[in-house]
């Protein structure tokens, strides 16, 4: 009997262990940046990656980042199926624009899954002034200084045609653009002198722009005002992140040129003349986008969309891949895949890939989405047209493109194979024996043991059932506690936001109107973060628009919300003198607007 009790206890413990393994989820959370040393006005790219053995990976919460402005740059996702197990990883990318110089720490990002908290390691960022001259090197050994190699061809010194002129220019293809619209910045070096050292080029500051380099430098020869120059040209694609008057800073070139023309008797021993060349800054007037329609992707430019399947047929429970491609002139990094919904299918986003190139004088981006479709039933199916809404800056209007309808067939799998019986006239013929009689030896005994008794079998099953109930009940208690916290946060959202508005009004009364707008902007973000259970530091304008449309808020109210956010951003970044009268109007409008939004 003691042996039976021990075996029963062992079975119970193993059942609990099996249950805990079945419910466990392997989650990994990590965070990284593309550089640890950055100049003021440059962008730091923060990537937060969540991976695990679950298909639906939750979104991590960003820490407070009061020394940076945060802009979401979209997500990329990968899903794999190995021996029936699903594993996935999703990367969230953010652009961080530093507000001031100093050394700052990005605290741990957090993620809560079924009551367990995961955290990342803190990251230290050094923000420098970025003054002309040699900048500090990053931890990867790169520098903001670019070296040009001269001359174009190795020639004896006496054969090089000399002049005494060297200068630089920066230009843009447009000085008025919409938020998010592509602007081409061109840097050009003109020279008809001999360089005694390689020129050092420092790119202009592009604060509040997303910048993409357009390939390597181009070298050519050009005639200007009757003089022949050797030129180097660099192009960048800039995308404004905010509205208002934005400034592209000065480009700088440091070089040492030969002064042979001024001293022909130097006999090739001239120390040369140092040159410090600086271009003029450029001001861009950035316009806000008109009130967007539903399902606006956030893309600004000129685009094309197409979709196809990797195969036209599959079997039940076997994957088929939908490949959607968006390409055009504009920034596609923050564009998400149009939603796909097919009844009877499991659908997984398998991530996206962005490729860049140059077509003509414009940057071209191509974003490729891969969506895995797993059918749970057989038959003929179709993927309906997928809409893609973007803003066309040339026409000043929104446009909607759609993909073609895709048809495919799903044949029955192993779980759905049918059997048929065919009866024909004639004699019945025995083809073989499938099951033969097995004679039980008479000498075997029915020995009593733990599993030979029904009562112990029922006991073991009962213990397993109780263990399942225990796991289920504890999970429900945790979810109920989290739900109560979320409800309290939603109920106090308005009160907390109004307290911040009051602090903003007090700042403005003391003459600190710009700081007042900072707090007003924080109050709006905090209100929506609390109402929709998000982190205030990770809340973006796209998140706010999505949730307001989800709860069917009037378009007029949505427009007023983003008008207020736009006013706050212009005041925060503008160098103009701010009027307290305008602030008081925006503060009063904020209070009225937040009180009208019901969630």
CATH hierarchy code of domain 1-129:
2.60.40
Average pLDDT over residues 222-251: 90
Backbone angles phi, psi at 334, to 5 degrees: -100, 5
Q: How far is it, in rounded angstroms, from Cα 356 to Cα 212?
A: 9
pLDDT for res 143: 45
Question: Regarding predicted confidence, which is higher, 574 or 182?
Answer: 182
Strand 123-128 with 37-39, pairing: parallel
Tens digits of residue pLDDT in 308-356 = 999 999 998 888 999 999 999 988 877 888 888 888 888 877 767 888 8
273-278 sheet: strands from edge to edge: 146-147, 200-202, 252-257, 273-278
- The encoded tokens of residue 398 equal 């929104």
Tens digits of residue pLDDT in 276-285 = 899 999 999 9
Cβ 378 vs Cβ 411: under 8 Å: yes
Within 10 Å of residue 565's Cβ, how many Cβ atoms?
A: 18
- The encoded tokens of residue 329 equal 């002139």
Question: Regarding predicted confidence, which is higher, 30 or 137?
Answer: 30
Q: How large is the angle between the packed helices 580-596 and 513-531, nearest 10 degrees? A: 10
Q: How far is it, in rounded angstroms, from Cα 233 to Cα 238?
A: 16
Backbone angles phi, psi at 347, to 5 degrees: -120, 130
Tens digits of residue pLDDT in 374-389 = 888 889 999 999 999 9
Q: How far is it, in rounded angstroms, from Cα 32 to Cα 17?
A: 35
Q: Which of 15, 54, 27 is nearest to 471 (CA)?
A: 15
Residue with tokens 């900072």: 518
Angle at 138 between CA 134 and CA 139, to 5 degrees: 145
pTM for the full predicted model: 0.54
CATH topology of domain 146-287: Immunoglobulin-like (2.60.40)
**What are the helix (H) ranges across 401-540?**
454-491, 493-509, 513-531
Q: How far is it, in rounded angstroms, from Cα 109 to Cα 121?
A: 8
Q: Which of 306, 307, 275, 300 is nearest to 286 (CA)?
A: 300
Tens digits of residue pLDDT in 112-159 = 877 788 899 999 999 987 643 333 333 333 445 666 655 433 343 444
Q: Quickly list DSSP for 25-68.
A: --EEEEEEES-SEEETT--EEEEEEEEES-SSPPPPBPPP-TTE
Tens digits of residue pLDDT in 400-446 = 999 999 999 999 876 444 333 333 333 434 444 444 444 444 444 44
- The encoded tokens of residue 122 equal 């803190």
Q: How far is it, in rounded angstroms, from Cα 334 to Cα 299?
A: 8
Cβ 547 vs Cβ 532: under 8 Å: yes
Q: Mean pLDDT for the chain? A: 78
Q: Which of 192, 280, 180, 281 is nearest to 228 (CA)?
A: 192
* In the chain, % of residues over pLDDT 90: 27
pLDDT for res 348: 78
pLDDT for res 78: 65
The number of angstroms, rounded, from the C-alpha of 311 to the middle of its chain's C-alpha atoms is 29
Q: Which CATH number fits domain 297-416: 1.10.3470, 2.60.40, 1.10.3120, 2.60.120?
A: 2.60.40
Q: Which CATH number fits domain 492-596: 1.10.3470, 1.25.40, 1.20.120, 1.10.10?
A: 1.20.120
* CB-neighbour burial class of residue 121 (10 A; exposed 0-12, middle 13-18, buried 19+): exposed
**The pLDDT of residue 95 is above 70:** yes
Cβ 379 vs Cβ 277: under 8 Å: no
Q: CA-CA distances (angstroms) from residue 159 to 181, 275, 293?
A: 47, 23, 64
Tens digits of residue pLDDT in 518-537 = 899 889 988 988 888 887 76
Q: How far is it, in rounded angstroms, from Cα 361 to Cα 323?
A: 28
pLDDT for res 207: 81
Residue with tokens 């983003």: 562
Q: How far is it, in rounded angstroms, from Cα 31 to Cα 43?
A: 16
């Amino acid at each position: 009997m003691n042996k039976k009790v021990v075996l029963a206890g062992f079975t119970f413990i193993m059942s609990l262990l099996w249950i805990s393994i079945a419910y466990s989820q392997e989650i990994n959370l990590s965070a990284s940046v593309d550089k640890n040393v950055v100049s003021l006005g440059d962008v730091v790219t923060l990537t937060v990656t969540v991976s695990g053995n679950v298909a639906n990976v939750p979104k991590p919460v960003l820490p407070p980042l009061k020394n940076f402005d945060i802009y979401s740059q979209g997500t990329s996702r990968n899903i794999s199926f190995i021996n029936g197990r699903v594993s996935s990883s999703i990367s969230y990318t953010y652009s961080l624009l530093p507000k001031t110089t100093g050394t700052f720490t990005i605290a741990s990002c957090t993620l809560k899954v079924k009551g367990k908290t995961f955290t990342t390691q803190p990251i230290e960022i050094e923000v420098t002034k970025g003054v002309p001259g040699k900048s500090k090197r990053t931890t990867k050994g790169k520098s903001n200084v670019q070296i040009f190699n001269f001359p174009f061809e190795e020639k004896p010194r006496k054969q090089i045609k000399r002049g005494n002129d060297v200068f630089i220019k920066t230009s843009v293809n447009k000085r008025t653009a919409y938020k998010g619209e592509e602007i081409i910045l061109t840097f050009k070096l003109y020279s008809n002198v001999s360089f005694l050292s390689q020129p050092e080029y420092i790119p202009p500051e592009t604060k509040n722009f997303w910048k993409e380099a357009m390939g390597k430098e181009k070298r050519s020869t050009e005639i200007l005002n009757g003089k022949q120059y050797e030129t180097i040209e660099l192009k960048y694609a800039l995308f404004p992140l905010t509205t208002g008057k934005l400034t592209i800073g000065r480009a700088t070139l440091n070089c040492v040129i030969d002064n042979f023309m001024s001293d022909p008797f130097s006999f090739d021993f001239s120390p040369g003349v140092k040159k410090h060349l600086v271009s003029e800054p450029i001001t861009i007037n950035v316009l806000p986008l008109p009130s967007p329609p539903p399902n606006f992707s956030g893309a600004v430019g000129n685009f094309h969309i197409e979709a196809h399947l990797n195969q036209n047929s599959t079997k039940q429970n076997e994957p088929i891949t939908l490949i959607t491609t968006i390409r055009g002139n504009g920034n596609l990094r923050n564009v998400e895949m149009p939603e796909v919904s097919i009844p009877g299918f499991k659908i997984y986003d398998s991530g996206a890939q962005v490729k860049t190139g140059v077509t003509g004088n414009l940057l071209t981006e191509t974003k490729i989405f891969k969506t895995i479709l797993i059918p749970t039933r057989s038959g003929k199916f179709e993927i309906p047209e997928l809409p893609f809404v973007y803003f066309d800056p040339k026409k000043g209007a929104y446009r909607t493109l759609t993909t073609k309808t895709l048809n495919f067939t799903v044949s029955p799998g192993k779980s759905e194979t049918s059997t048929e019986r065919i009866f024909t006239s004639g004699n019945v013929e025995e083809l073989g024996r499938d099951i033969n009689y097995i004679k039980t030896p008479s000498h075997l005994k029915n020995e009593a043991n733990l599993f030979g008794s029904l009562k112990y079998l029922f006991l073991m099953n009962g213990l397993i059932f109780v263990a399942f109930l225990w796991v289920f009940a504890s999970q429900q208690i945790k979810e109920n506690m989290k739900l109560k916290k979320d409800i309290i946060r939603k109920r106090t959202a308005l009160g907390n936001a109004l307290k911040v508005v009051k602090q903003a009004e007090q700042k403005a009364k003391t003459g600190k109107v710009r700081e007042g707008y900072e707090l007003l902007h924080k109050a709006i973000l905090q209100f929506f973060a609390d109402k929709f259970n998000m982190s205030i530091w990770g809340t973006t304008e796209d998140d706010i628009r999505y949730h307001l449309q989800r709860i069917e808020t009037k378009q007029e109210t949505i427009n007023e919300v983003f008008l207020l956010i736009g006013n706050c951003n212009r005041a925060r970044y503008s160098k103009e003198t701010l009027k307290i009268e305008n602030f008081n109007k925006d503060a009063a409008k904020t209070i009225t607007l937040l009180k009208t939004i019901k969630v």
